[in-house]
Structure 1
Amino acid sequence: MGYSCHSRLTLFVSQTDSNLRNQNSTEVMTKNDMIYNNCDEITKPGSWEFLSGCMVKMGSECGKEVFDKLMHGKINVTKHCCEKLVKMGESCHINMAKALIRTPEMRDVDAMQLLNKGKKMFDQCRRVK
């Protein structure tokens, strides 16, 4: 969404919602900044160099499989791809999910829900023998 869009939306809601209209605008915008900064920090991925290395380790076939499971939940990740995911490492996996969250196509996705699904998937793959 971006900071300016987030702030404009907050300002619009605070001016049009009857429950918020009488709130102190400075306090509302201060809370807006705190929320945005917390979300930004939580979803900030690693460097592009780091992410590129992660993508190479995962490969395109397994990357697509993991993406499809994460986004659509329709397929299970194969043992082969689970092994690659675990070998790639949890840090790579979580940072790739964070990078995904920041794409325009994902603007309507709940970031925390996606990160939690990613963590759950990684933990399931870790248990695959």
Structure 2
Amino acid sequence: MTEECGIQTFQNIFHRGPEITDACCDVLVKFGHPCHSEFIEVVLSTGKFASHEAEILRKSTAAWKRCRAIVEKRAI
């Protein structure tokens, strides 16, 4: 994961950042869903975002699905 894509992903899921770019979606999907899920779990385990956990999990799922769809669409 590049620093730029890591920041984009974090901002999109944990804050009100913009959508993850297509290029960073490529990177995210390449790392795989287990890596993405572990990243979310590790950040949530700090407790800093505990009051927003449901929203973060929803945004995480939405970001993953959106990125996977973008990557799969280009593969066709």
Provide the TM-score with structure 1 as the length reference: 0.50
How many pairs are equivalent?
71
1:82 paired residue number: 25
Pair 1:127-2:74 in alignment: no
Matched-pair identity in %: 28
Give the unaligned 5+ runs of structure 2.
none
Q: Is the 8 A contact 1:98 1:115 kept in 2?
A: no
Q: Is the 8 A contact 2:8 2:17 kept in 1?
A: no
4+ long deviations beyond 3 Å: none
DSSP 3-state at the match of 2:48 = helix
Q: Whose relative contact order is higher, 1 or 2, with alpha carbons under 8 Å and at least 6 apart?
A: 2
Distance 1:122 1:63 in 2: 13
Alpha-carbon shift at residue 63 of structure 1 (Å): 0.4
Q: CA RMSD, aligned part only?
A: 1.4
1:47 paired residue number: none
Provide the TM-score with structure 2 as the length reference: 0.81
Give the unaligned 5+ runs of structure 1.
1-57
